[in-house]
Amino acid sequence: MTMTAYRTHHCGELNMNFVGKEVTLIGWIQKNRIMGGMIFIDLRDRYGITQLVFNHEVNAALAEKAEKLGREWIIQVTGTVMERYSKNPNIPTGDIEIMVNQLQVINQSKIPPFTIEDQTDGGDELRIKYRYLDLRRNKVKNNLIFRNNVGLAVRNYLQSVGFLEIETPFLIKSTPEGARDFIVPSRIHPGEFYALPQSPQTFKQLLMVSGFDRYFQIVRCFRDEDLRADRQPEFTQIDCEMSFVSQEDILTTFEGLVKHIFAQIKQIEIGPIPRMTYQDAMNLYGSDKPDIRFGMQFVNLTPYLQHRDFSIFNQAEWIGGIVVPGAANYTRKQLDNITEFVRRPQIGASGMVYIMCQPEGTFKSSVDKFYNQEDLQEVAKQSNANAGDLILILSGKKEQTQKQLGELRLEMGNRLELRKAGDYKPLWVVDFPLLEWDEETARFYAKHHPFTAPKPEHIELLQTDPGAVNANAYDLVINGTEIGGGSIRIHDTQLQSQMFKVLGFTEEEAQAQFGFLLDAFQYGAPPHGGIAFGFDRLCAVLSDTDSIRDFIAFPKNNAARDTMIQAPARVSEEQLNELSITIQEREA
């Protein structure tokens, strides 16, 4: 399919089967080596690299021309496929080379600002500014091909089980709930604005009201957040919704999707995906997205450590430990280093207690002053720690301490190399709380979003004890990263109004913002629910990396700027006048 006016073959396909054949190739010069009377050129295209040969003895004029070519020039060559003297087993075309008899320079190139190699000399900033050159590097190129393949697998699976891809609008209405919207001034309606969607949430629910049953969309979403290292103002979501389903139906359906992706993309068979309640996740891992590639589950040690004179533990709401296998021989320095880790401001623990379970059956701890060997033995027993293991203990307010211990657990997982690349452990976290109390604004916020249904048996609690209400909400976690989340939605006007009330919306506000949805619910809304996956994040996790940016063709930097095209930028006064807006003067 690649034969076009400019070539008969691409640079990744020729091998011994083609020896003796005349071919025409076109591509970029990766490398240019002059060895005696020979010039060797590595010619690169999307598909691979093929070695070209020019020989002064065979064609001096052509060889001289070849000597003058530079890196990243585009040349078109015609020549004969020959077996190589010294073969390169690392590339598919490594057995052959092309003895060139015609050469045409198609386009020249300035010397690139960084080397187009797997290991480049270009820093992040330079590479993002010249992203079109960075995309020539195998790693970045392969990431985008990978993303294409994941998208294809997702679409094929969802279509095969009856989901329809339906596009929802991008120019919608701003809603104050949740993250900040990007807004778009309307020229035709001065003083009014569209907003870019943070997700197609309400539209996909309307599609359920319409009867579309199984909807999906791979769709761009927008959030004007204060940027963190790995956030992008625009990101892509695999957005799905189903009608006439229970939570179980949704988990089963999307377990199928996850299995399909792993089978298609990674050639890995994933077994049944385990499920864990939010409460268990917090109590055992201190995180709602536990990495279950390794153990080190928390042990609640509160009952076993508050009977002595150690006031720090006695004052603690919760004391928890993890058992680090085989680490009883850690040096003072190693232990100090771990203590330093938990004391970092990002973690925020004030200190750490350790107990070494020594091979000879005795115990050594940082609190030997307060606890005797029997005390420590009891802790070891409760923790299922064996001789040779190290127990690390944090204490304090329960929730906070669990989070800190969760961070410590991950850190120890890293140090012991228990978080293995290529090992994928998906997990459903279920039974999330419906609401989150915010101290600062003294109100409840939706943990998921305002459309999430409380568990039917908790609906009454909504009036008496909203904080105790659980939701039919679930997250898909892979290796400690949240890949997706969703819920069963409210499909009843009354319940939805009640939910808005709990969230502090007046009736007028609810009507102004979501009147169309409340209206829609009055015309026969089906029970429904759904899920959305972060597509960028999914690609990153499947590739064992943290950086979503590597999977976005043209990402923005940490200041939400595209340094390649230089956006955002000033626009003309004329444009602003047409839109009836003015830029506010700032004080110097």
Binding to a copy of itself (CB under 8 A) within 499-518 occurs at: 515-516
Q: How far is the CB of 199 from a copy of itself (least distance, A)?
A: 14
How many whole angstroms separate alpha carbon 538 and alpha carbon 329?
A: 38
Find how far residue 379's CA is from the centre of its chain: 38
Select the residue interacting with a copy of itself from 45, 95, 239, 475 (CB under 8 A).
Answer: 45
Q: How far is the CB of 340 from a copy of itself (least distance, A)?
A: 34
Question: Per CB under 8 A, does 54 bind a copy of itself?
Answer: no
Q: Name which of 237 and 402 has its Cβ closer to a copy of itself.
A: 237
Q: Name which of 16 and 571 has its Cβ closer to a copy of itself.
A: 571
Find out whether 378 and 316 touch, Cβ atoms under 8 Å: no
Q: How far is the CB of 2 from a copy of itself (least distance, A)?
A: 7
Select the residue interacting with a copy of itself from 228, 332, 369, 586 (CB under 8 A).
Answer: 586
Select the residue interacting with a copy of itself from 35, 61, 188, 588 (CB under 8 A).
Answer: 188
Angle CA(211)–CA(213)–CA(217) in degrees, nearest 5?
Answer: 110
**114-124 in b/e burial notation, b at 16+ Cβ within 10 A?**
bebeeebebee
Residue 354, classed as helix, strand or coil, is: strand
Interface map 230-259 toward a copy of itself (x if CB under 8 A): ---xx-x-----x-xxx-xx----------
**380-418 in b/e burial notation, b at 16+ Cβ within 10 A?**
bebbebeeebbbbbbbbebeebbbbbbbbbbebbebeeb
Per CB under 8 A, contacts with a copy of itself among 127-166 are: 130-133, 135-136, 141, 144-145, 147-148, 151-152, 155, 159, 161-162, 164-166
Find out whether 426 and 477 touch, Cβ atoms under 8 Å: yes
3-class DSSP string for 285-342: HCCCCCCCCCCCCCEECHHHHCCCCCHHHHCCCEEEEEEECCCCCCCHHHHHHHHHHH
Q: Shortest CA distance to 324 belongs to which of 385, 261, 264, 235? A: 385
Question: Per CB under 8 A, does 456 bind a copy of itself?
Answer: no
Select the residue interacting with a copy of itself from 40, 193, 370, 424 (CB under 8 A).
Answer: 193
Phi, psi of 347 (to 5 degrees): -95, -55
Question: Per CB under 8 A, does 31 bind a copy of itself?
Answer: no
Q: Shortest CA distance to 100 belongs to which of 24, 16, 4, 17? A: 24
Query: Is it true that the peptide bond before 450 is cis, omega within 30 degrees of 0?
Result: no
Q: Name which of 112 and 325 has its Cβ closer to a copy of itself.
A: 112
Question: Per CB under 8 A, does 28 bind a copy of itself?
Answer: yes
Question: Per CB under 8 A, does 564 bind a copy of itself?
Answer: yes
Q: Name which of 83 and 225 has its Cβ closer to a copy of itself.
A: 225
Question: Per CB under 8 A, does 348 bind a copy of itself?
Answer: no
CB-side neighbour CA atoms (13 Å) of 256: 12
Q: Name which of 348 and 527 has its Cβ closer to a copy of itself.
A: 527
Tokens 């598919």, residue?
Answer: 92
Select the residue interacting with a copy of itself from 51, 168, 201, 401 (CB under 8 A).
Answer: 168
Residue 107 amino acid letter:
N
How many whole angstroms separate alpha carbon 139 and alpha carbon 120?
A: 11
Q: Name which of 229 and 559 has its Cβ closer to a copy of itself.
A: 559
Stretch of 12-20, 381-389, 457-465, 575-583 contacting a copy of itself, by CB under 8 A: 575-583
Angle CA(471)–CA(473)–CA(481) in degrees, nearest 5?
Answer: 140
Question: Per CB under 8 A, does 577 bind a copy of itself?
Answer: yes
Question: Per CB under 8 A, does 179 bind a copy of itself?
Answer: no
Residue 568, classed as helix, strand or coil, is: coil
Q: How far is the CB of 123 from a copy of itself (least distance, A)?
A: 18
Contacts of 408 (CB under 8 A, 6+ apart): 322, 338, 341, 342, 347, 349, 352, 392, 394
Question: Per CB under 8 A, does 187 bind a copy of itself?
Answer: yes
Structure tokens belonging to residue 476: 């898909």
Q: How far is the CB of 189 from a copy of itself (least distance, A)?
A: 5
Per CB under 8 A, contacts with a copy of itself among 195-224 are: 195-196, 202-203, 206-207, 209-213, 220, 222, 224
Stretch of 418-426, 475-483, 500-508, 574-582 contacting a copy of itself, by CB under 8 A: 574-582
Q: Name which of 214 and 447 has its Cβ closer to a copy of itself.
A: 214
Q: How far is the CB of 570 from a copy of itself (least distance, A)?
A: 6
* Cα dist from 525 to 168, 169, 207, 214, 521, whole Å: 19, 21, 10, 14, 5
Select the residue interacting with a copy of itself from 125, 274, 554, 573 (CB under 8 A).
Answer: 554
Question: Per CB under 8 A, does 44 bind a copy of itself?
Answer: yes
Per CB under 8 A, contacts with a copy of itself among 294-323 are: none
Stretch of 95-103, 174-182, 277-285, 341-349 contacting a copy of itself, by CB under 8 A: 174-182
Phi, psi of 329 (to 5 degrees): -95, 15
Per CB under 8 A, contacts with a copy of itself among 380-419 are: none
For residues 553, 557, 559 and 565, what is the CA-based torsion angle, rounded to 10 degrees? -60
Largest Cα span, the chain: 93
Select the residue interacting with a copy of itself from 315, 334, 414, 575 (CB under 8 A).
Answer: 575
Select the residue interacting with a copy of itself from 343, 527, 545, 547 (CB under 8 A).
Answer: 527
Q: How far is the CB of 507 from a copy of itself (least distance, A)?
A: 17
Stretch of 193-201, 272-280, 288-296, 305-313 contacting a copy of itself, by CB under 8 A: 193-201
Phi, psi of 513 (to 5 degrees): -85, -45
